[in-house]
Amino acid sequence: MIPAGYQSWAHPWTLVDRMRRKKKIIVHGDGTSLWTMTHNTDFAKGFVGLLGNPRAIGHAVHITSDEALTWDQIIRAIGAAAGFEPDIIHIPSDFISVFDSDARGPLLGDKAHCAVFDNSKIKSLAPGFTATVPFAEGVRKSIQWYENHPERCTVDDTFNAHSERIISAYEKARDLAGSGR
């Protein structure tokens, strides 16, 4: 998986392809809200630590990394793993949702807010649990996996066209506001 706040979930390679073609990458909001990314191997360690554990019965437990990154840091880490500096454009989440109603819930109700978790419960129920794969390392492995499976490096042309429409509309609105017209 190559996770990002606003992207084609059906074709995650589209984000890397946009970076490599020097296309602008939409980051919702100002890029500073914090998010927690957890590698699947770290999640598995926590999950296995709960299986058959009588102390875990009846408890709701989240299993996350202690690493909290801004969306700008996440996109830059993806770019670094892909070998390119992303050309980030910050666009307000509510502006994006006007053009993409499917993004309204994920962006306005979820990713626009900080998501940092207290991991004391999983650590107390699964002693020794700690997330050890930093996001930069995990996303590098994901990109390597895609590159080793070129048949999975599919690009979502519809998402690309939609992104270009959002970027164009936002830049026009920003330029109009800046010119005082």
pLDDT value at residue 181: 57
Please tell me whether the overall predicted TM-score, pTM, comes out greater than 0.85 for this model: yes
* Cα distance between residue 122 and residue 63, in whole Å: 6
pLDDT value at residue 21: 95
Give me the residues paired with residue 88 across strands.
25
Q: 89: closest CA among 6, 156, 1?
A: 6
Report residue 78's pLDDT band, with 50, 70 and 90 as the boundaries: very high
Domains annotated for the chain, with CATH where assigned, are 13-175 (3.40.50.720)
Q: How far is CA 107 from CA 85, 128, 176, 181, in A?
A: 24, 34, 25, 30
Q: How far is CA 83 from CA 20, 37, 73, 159, 173, in A?
A: 8, 20, 15, 22, 32
Q: What are the pLDDT digits (tens) for 122-175?
A: 999 998 899 999 999 999 999 999 999 999 999 999 999 999 999 999 999 998
DSSP 8-state class, residue 170 = H
For 90, counting Cβ atoms within 10 Å of its Cβ (0-12 exposed, 13-18 middle, 19+ buried), the class is middle
